[in-house]
Amino acid sequence: MMEAAKVLDAKGLACPMPVVKTKKTIEEIDSGDILEVHATDKGAKSDLAAWTKSGGHELVDEAEEEGVLKFWIKKA
Amino acid sequence: MENNTRVAIIAANGGMFDAYKVFNIATAAAASDKEVGIFFTFEGLNLIHKEAHKSLSLPEGKEHFQEGFEKANVPAIGDLLEMAQEMGVKMIGCQMTMDVMNLDKDHFVDGVEVGGAATFIEFAKDADVSLTF
């Protein structure tokens, strides 16, 4: 797994907050760096994938661990 | 990365469900780098009224959903409104409705611009996504 430049804890947040927070946080990292996002909103699975695509970023990997959805997004 | 996709929304209803529909779509779109504009007309003006947006009603018989909102940790309408503004969502209050309801710009949250249908149409004519709530 690539080293994340930043980890965003979006656990417990409902739609649309995971996407809004991800948008804000990705502005704090450099292009090419990885943002790791943790969420429990089940909708985040498709939402963050769609968000990543619409922003031109790359969803490098995703996983589910003990009910927590994890995403690794490479900033465009 | 930056794209020019434009989302034009008409908010014509003023209940809490309506507010969530409008602001969730608007903030999600703005967070996805879309250019978003909302035209608030008739009861939709409740959503940006300084006081009214804090106490929007649930539909009759659906009051029990209040608990569900809290349990799901859904953000307050005021928070969504603030976020929408932070992300540059354009908000247009309908002048004609404001005149009918005897309201002026000062009754609304900061950053709201006042305009008529033509103002919205000018924004919406180049929209890729148009929604009405």
- Mean of the pLDDT values across residues B38-63? 96
Instruction: Judge whether residue B1 has pLDDT over 50.
Output: no
In a domain, B87, yes or no: yes
pLDDT of residue A29: 97
Residues of A forming the active site: 15
Please tell me the total count of domains within chain B. Answer: 1
pLDDT at B24 (0 to 100): 97
Q: Do A15 and B33 touch (CB under 8 A)?
A: no
Q: Is residue B70 part of a domain?
A: yes
Question: Which helix H or strand E contains A72, and what residues bound it?
Answer: strand A68-74
Asked whether residue A11 carries a pLDDT value surpassing 90, the answer given is yes
Instruction: For the domain covering A6-74, report its CATH number.
Output: 3.30.110.40
Establish if A22 touches chain B: CB-CB under 8 angstroms: yes
In a domain, B29, yes or no: yes
Contact B33 A55 (CB under 8 A): yes
Q: Could you tell me the residue range of the domain that residue B47 belongs to? A: 6-132
Rounded alpha-carbon distances, angstroms, from residue B103 to A8, A17, A32, B36, B86: 42, 32, 49, 25, 25
- Computed over every residue of chain B, the mean pLDDT equals 95
Residue A47, SS3 per DSSP: helix
Reported as a single tens digit per residue, the pLDDT across A61-76 is 999 999 999 999 999 9
Q: Please state the rounded mean pLDDT for residues B14-20.
A: 97
- In sequence order, which residues have a C-beta less than 8 Å from that of residue B4 and are 6 or more positions away? B35
With contact defined as beta carbons under 8 Å apart, do B5 and B37 qualify?
no
Cβ proximity of B90 and B36 under 8 Å: yes
**Cβ contacts of B96-104, under 8 Å, gap ≥ 24:** B96/B41, B97/B41, B97/B42, B97/B45, B98/B45, B101/B45, B103/B45, B103/B49
Q: HSE on the CB side for B16, CA within 13 Å?
A: 19
pLDDT in tens, B95-124: 999 999 999 999 999 999 999 999 999 999
Q: In percent, how much of chain B has pLDDT > 90?
A: 96
Q: Which secondary-structure segment (H or E) carries A26?
A: helix A17-26
Residue B102 phi, psi dihedral angles, 5° rounding:
60, 45
Q: Would you kindly state where each structural domain of chain A is located, as residue ranges?
A: 6-74
pTM of the model: 0.92
- Is B122 a domain residue? yes
CATH number at residue B43: 3.40.1260.10
Closest residue on chain B to A53 (Cα) = B32
pLDDT value at position B2? 52
Q: What is the DSSP letter of A29?
A: S
pLDDT at B8 over 50: yes
pLDDT value of position B4: 82
